[in-house]
Amino acid sequence: MLSRQTTPNGLTVGRYTPSLSEIIRHRAWIEIDHHALAHNIRSIKQILSPSTALMAVVKADAYGHGAVRVAQTALQAGATWLAIATLGEGIELREAGIAAPILILGAINTPAEIATIAQWKLQPTLCNPQQALVFSETLTKLDQSLPVHLKLDTGMSRLGTIWTEAAAFVQLVQQLPYLKIASIYSHLATADDPDPTVMRLQHQRFEAAIAEIKANGITPPRLHFANSAATLTDPSLHYDLVRVGLGLYGLYPAPHLRESVDLKPVLQVKARVTQVKTIPAGTGVSYGYQFISDRPLRIAVVGIGYADGVQRNLSNRLEVLVRGQRISQIGAITMDQLMLDVSNIPDLQAGEVVTLIGKDQDQEITADEWADKLGTISWEILCGFKHRLPRVSIPQSQEELEVSGVS
């Protein structure tokens, strides 16, 4: 931004004042495309029946995308529920003025936490009878009712009451004061596996548990079972609500699901070149000399490193995009910087943008590519980017998004 100022001797001069958007893009940043996010939600809703609601999973800061803005966009685009993992995540959304129902997927056990849930009008998951009793006792003292969601373990072996004991668990909660059953749900362990055997077994167990609950005269107001993979796989798993996480952010839980719905990646990771130099043959690069040049090389130093979420185990295996070309990273990735072999771009200058994840012209690098190289999953890649990387929203404001037609 160029502003005009008058000097003491009466001269009018221009003074450049960088905008906040320019400043946070000075070193490295993450771009979040809310148009892509809204597109993904609409695409997923198209495969749901009108009676099935969409719960946007925004835990872990919306998988590193920024929970508040993501939640706002998701609700505008057609999601009606939100899911988080911790009490603090729910409070953050409420403090931002978000009034939609919010399910806490994690377990809550203490009276202080329960009182806080009630205060912020969040909706907890109950996993076992002991937890239900603590909730009821605490809420009785507060003289306040609370909607609760009952979790069944049908084969994940994580949170929840074992499915064979579901009827007794539900009957207990139904009788306890100040607890109102809002839903009964379970979680799939292998929905992203092309072999549906385990998923079908879990589905059968869930159905059997629900049948027994209904036989006892209790009709659950809401059932939900499907994560992103199950949502894209089998409509019989949709029930009243689907819980979609990874799919919101434009990634597929497994390669065989890529044709199920059109999704667009929401996140891009970018950084700037901070120095360019030429090194002679036989020169070591970075700590430990994991890379030694076999010829003169033009190298670029880039202002991003493992403290930002670029894992050190990607050293000498990472590729980035520069001017639409795939460029190799060389040497050990350091805490704040990494080096590139830019010999094929001899006129590269400091300040130019490097794309680590995202598109540049007709080339693209995805979080899945990083995950494959590291032997992990894309969820971990997305959640691994640290908060010193500013999240830059596109468009920059929620108002601009509304004007563009996302509603």
Catalytic residues: 59, 287
Q: Is 295 annotated among the ligand-binding residues?
A: no
User: Tokens at residue 223, please?
Assistant: 């059932």
Of the candidates 116, 49, 41, the residue with the CA atom closest to the CA atom of residue 81: 41
CA distance 339 to 316: 10
Closest CA to 367 of 355, 356, 378: 378
The C-alpha R_g of the chain, in whole angstroms, comes to 25
Q: Phi first, then psi: what are they for 405, rounded to 5°?
A: 110, 10
Q: Which stretches within 257-303 are classed as H helix?
A: none
Evaluate whether 329 touches 338 at the Cβ level (below 8 Å): yes
Ramachandran angles phi, psi of 78, nearest 5°: 130, -5
Give Cβ neighbours of residue 8 (< 8 Å, ≥ 6 apart): none
Residues with Cβ within 8 Å of 330's Cβ and at least 6 positions away in sequence, in order, are 285, 286, 291, 297, 299, 316, 339, 340, 341
Task: Enter the DSSP assignment of 293.
Answer: -
Distance from C-alpha of 30 to C-alpha of 24, rounded to nearest angstrom = 10
Neighbouring residues of 304: CB distance < 8 A, sequence distance ≥ 6 = 27, 28, 269, 271, 310, 336, 337, 338, 354, 356, 389
Residue entry with tokens 């005269």 = 217
Whether 156 has a binding-site annotation, put simply, is no
The H or E element spanning position 241 is strand 241-244
